[in-house]
Amino acid sequence: MAGRFSDNKLRVHLCLASIVFFGLALVVIGTESRAAGQDVAAEKQAEVQQQLPPDPDKDREPSPEWGAELYGHYCTPCHGIRGDGNGFNAHKLIVKPANHTDAKFMSERNDQKLFDTINLGGVEVAKSTLMPPWGAALNNDNKIKSLVMKLRDLCKCKATKNW
Ligand code: HEC
């Protein structure tokens, strides 16, 4: 009787241990394949950028004014002229574009995260692919830095978290 009891206990422990093991394995595989996916996206984009002519503004310093100009061209169709997520294209999207004037939401993203989101798209931050990657179209990191400045102007906020 006692033997069977401890057999059962052993089985339960083995069962729990294998659940934990497979759980951990899935987390590791998931994280690695996501990282690999990001590398592929970044690589593909770099490849495209190499084939593009150099941006004539490549030596221009990033600035909020430049950011505002670029935001007007590239972002307002979805994010709206005021940056509140109500652009003319927004009603066609099944995921609502982010509200860039929401200080709480925006302060939870640091400048590097915003840069990566603009550069490689929503998928970079595990968000919707309806947020496009802009790195190749802009083809100039200083443009992306300017856009981050514009985003900080819109939310009137700084990052409170380091991610
Ligand atoms: C085609 C429509 C579209 C355009 C154009 C667009 N976005 Fe977005 N963007 C979205 C959508 C949709 C989301 C919401 C994604 C989600 O919540 O999954 C989003 C989300 C974001 C976010 C928040 C991501 C997060 O961390 O949650 C940032 C920042 C952003 N966009 C910046 C920009 C900037 C800067 C531009 C212009 C260069 C731009 N977007 C142009 C559709 C667009």
- Domains of the chain, by residue range, sit at 1-51, 64-155
CA distance 150 to 156: 10
CATH code of domain 64-155: 1.10.760.10
- The candidate with the shortest Cα–Cα distance to 125, out of 152, 143, 106, 141, is 106
Residue-by-residue pLDDT tens, the chain, 163 positions: 555 666 778 787 776 777 777 767 766 666 565 666 667 778 888 888 889 888 899 899 999 999 999 999 999 999 999 999 999 999 999 999 999 999 999 999 999 999 999 999 999 889 999 999 999 999 999 999 999 999 999 999 999 976 5
CA of 97 to the centre of ligand 1 (A): 5
Cα–ligand 1 centroid distance for 61 (angstroms)? 24
Q: Are 159 and 107 in contact (CB under 8 A)?
A: yes
Distance (Å, whole) CA 76 – CA 85? 8
Pocket of ligand 1 (CB under 6 A): 74-75, 77-79, 89, 93, 95, 97-98, 109, 114, 117-118, 122, 125, 127-128, 130-132, 134, 147, 151
Burial of 163 (0-12, 13-18, 19+ CB in 10 A): exposed
